[in-house]
Amino acid sequence: MQFYINFITQEIHTENCNYNSPVNQIFLGTFDCPLPAITVAKNTGYSYTQVCEYCCSHMLNKVAEEEE
């Protein structure tokens, strides 16, 4: 599914997943994250950055598996 993060004031800056947008909408590609990151962050107590890192690393792991 396509995984979008919409927000007003947060920008996500991480070493592994530096997707930030001037229109405050982030598109993180297509992979198996079950819920939008804001919902995940609210429900788990993780920050948007941590959710982004998790999803980004998950996506990279899937790509690596497919290349093997």
* Domain spans in the chain, listed from the N-terminal domain onward: 2-67
Q: Residue 31: its pLDDT value, please?
A: 38
Contact assessment for residue 54 and residue 13, using Cβ atoms and an 8 Å cutoff: no
Q: What is the mean pLDDT of each run of 10 residues along the chain (68 residues)?
A: 36 39 36 53 69 62 60
Instruction: Name the one residue in this structure whose structure tokens are 């980004």.
Output: 56
Strand partners, 5: 26
The secondary structure of 3-27 as a DSSP string is: EEEE-SS-----SS-----TTSEEE
- The residue among 27, 26, 16, 22 whose CA lies nearest residue 61 is 16
